Chains A and B, each alone.
Chain A
Amino acid sequence: MTKQELEQCIEEYGRDIYSFCRYLTNDLPEAEDLYQDTFLLATEVKERIEYNRNPKSYLLSIALRIWKNKKRKYAWRKRIADVRSADDALEADSGGTAELSLEEQILATEKDESVRIAVSHLPEKLKIVVLLFYMEELTTAQIAEVIKIPVGTVLSRLHEARKRLKKELEDVL
């Protein structure tokens, strides 16, 4: 990728990718690192066919790839066993440290904020699908390609996420 192409790429998809990184990591420095690494990797390893087909999906898949590897290394260092089963992973990922910076950063209506907080409380696997669908407006087929899972799994995760959000947002909406 030339400098010009990179500039163009940032201009066109910077907002999409940055927003995604912020929600995915729930942490400003982490988000900035991830955002930077995503674009740098995009310039370096160029899977040309994939990039040309859908640059945004491609960038999102890079971001997820880096994030996954980073978390894996972190987990390894802390000697935490890798949770393989999907159900266990859903439960294991839900943490309570979510709303810190989001609340500070986002100026918006109370309703929007409640929704964002509810999303940030989702286990990561569900959160990723929700972000790709509602924030990045990918189709379920595109999501399946980006995170490399069958379309059926995307649909069931989306369904599960909506079920949980509905429950949490009952009073707000």
Chain B
Amino acid sequence: MKEKILDDALRQALAPQEEADVWLNQRILKRAEEKRTAGGRKSRLPAAVAAVLLLCAGSVTAYAAWKYLSPSDVAEEMQDAELAEVFQSAQATAVYETQSCEGYRVTLLGVVSGEGLSEYPRYQNGTLAQDRTYAVVAIEKEDGAPMPDISEEGYGELEFFVSPLIAGYDPALYNLASMSGNYMDMVQDGVLYRLVECDTVEIFADHEIYLCVTEGTFYPAEAYRYDRLTGEIGRNEDYEGLNALFGLPMDAAGADPQKAAEYIESLGLETDIPEEGWEVETDGAFEVEITEGHQKGAEVAEYALQFVGNPYSWGSDSLTDGTDSSGFTKSVYAYFGICIPHDSRGQREVGTKVDALDKAMPGDLIFYETPAHVAIYLGEGKIVHAMPEHGICISEAEFDDVSEIRRIRD
């Protein structure tokens, strides 16, 4: 029998042609609606449990411990029976530490690290991401107002960023966004539960490990302080917003400095730009020269300059709260109604090629040999770009080897 005959027969016979009854689909919509209204209810605690609440009100830990779902319950609710089992085992650490901040009560429930713990392993570029860390937090409003259910409109408006951070590693670079992270949310009895996972941080157990809980889609660089000398990470007390920070307990025996170093290397986030021989300016003082026929590019350069001094954050694209290099160029061009991709490889495809740096005009995109770095040309051999450690800054265009120049706007 020919292979194709079997293929065709299978495709024809199995073509999805069966449809559910109308009433079955209606029942789904109705059930979903019921769930939605049930999710909006404030509390489903029975009377007996409510009485215990009064007795325990003085002790935050006891209060939290029974009120919330256990990490195992959360994993179970998320249909991950394997992870639920792991959270019940000795391998996991139950934490139950609560912090109050900006009207939220945030509780770290538990954490576990190891290989093959979940039913749903992550694939990273086609290979299995084996060794992972999972943590569960509960977030609720202090005034008792329920958190919007996942099916409600309000859910999308409220973004939280929950991520492990590692002492000694710049949190703007090394967080959930860069460490193959993912998360799942669920709301029960007005409490938002979040399960976060990322590549294991246990190999860094010889460092202090933290868990940050803050608002937004990406790591907000202003919410925490990073001391580059001691490597310590702490809350920014002046930050106006949620910036809880927990110590994440890790098994010290899991520390593996060599593996950790290899992992950091594999992320390739550290720009190996020479420390010496180039200077950074962060006061934004630069006069863009406007040449006849190139006003539009000069406009881009001038617009970009006003953000000098703002912070760097990997994976982000906010001109004010933190951006990486390609997010910076993307957001600057978006202001002029020009949509370019976020990743710098994609950006190399846009616009027209400029042959050499001495032909570059203000507003051109300058790409570097250093992986994934991109800057906006200002003229007179200077660029403005978002750099780890420095934030958005001005420096020499030739601080690193230029690999490509593209003109988007004349």
Contact = CB atoms under 8 A, between A and B. Distances in A.
Interface in B1-52: 1, 3, 5-7, 9-20, 24-25, 27-29, 31-33, 35-36
Contact of B29 (A3, A47, A169): A3
Contacts of B19: 14-15, 18
Interface in A76-93: none
B355 to A, nearest CB: 39
Given A16-B16, A116-B14, A6 B32 contact: yes
B315 to A, nearest CB: 13
A161 to B, nearest CB: 9
Contact of A6 (B11, B29, B77): B29
A40 B16 contact: no
A151 B181 CA distance: 22
Nearest to A7: B29
Contact of B10 (A44, A61, A134): A134
A135 B20 contact: no
Interface stretch (B117-125, B257-265, B291-299): B117-125
A115 B14 contact: yes
Interface in A21-51: 22-23, 32, 35-36, 39-41, 43-47, 49
A145 interface: yes
A45 B14 contact: no
Given A3-B33, A22-B18, A148-B121, A46 B185 contact: yes
Given A145-B123, A170-B1, A111 B16 contact: no
A19 B27 contact: no
B18 A19 contact: yes
Contacts of B269: none
B184 interface: yes
B326 to A, nearest CB: 19
B126 interface: yes
Contact of A36 (B18, B31, B77, B182): B31
A134 B11 contact: yes
A14 B32 CA distance: 16
Contacts of A22: 18
Interface residues of A, number: 57
Interface in B128-167: 128, 150-151, 153
A44 B20 contact: no
Contact of B120 (A3, A112, A148): A148
A32 B32 contact: no
Contacts of A15: 16-19
B153 A173 contact: no
Given A2-B153, A32-B20, A40-B35, A135 B14 contact: yes
Nearest to B150: A46
B32 A65 contact: no
A138 interface: no
Nearest to B3: A162
11 contacts: A1-B32, A1-B150, A1-B151, A10-B29, A22-B18, A45-B184, A69-B81, A116-B13, A131-B14, A135-B15, A135-B16
Given A10-B29, A44-B186, 20 more contacts: A3-B29, A18-B18, A19-B14, A36-B27, A45-B78, A45-B184, A61-B120, A62-B79, A69-B79, A119-B13, A131-B14, A134-B10, A135-B14, A135-B15, A144-B123, A148-B119, A148-B121, A166-B1, A173-B6, A173-B9
Interface of B: 1, 3, 5-7, 9-20, 24-25, 27-29, 31-33, 35-36, 77-79, 81, 119-121, 123, 126, 128, 150-151, 153, 182, 184-186
Interface of A: 1-3, 6-7, 10, 14-16, 18-20, 22-23, 32, 35-36, 39-41, 43-47, 49, 61-62, 65-66, 69, 72, 105, 108, 111-113, 115-116, 119, 130-131, 134-136, 141, 144-145, 148, 150-151, 162, 165-166, 169-170, 173
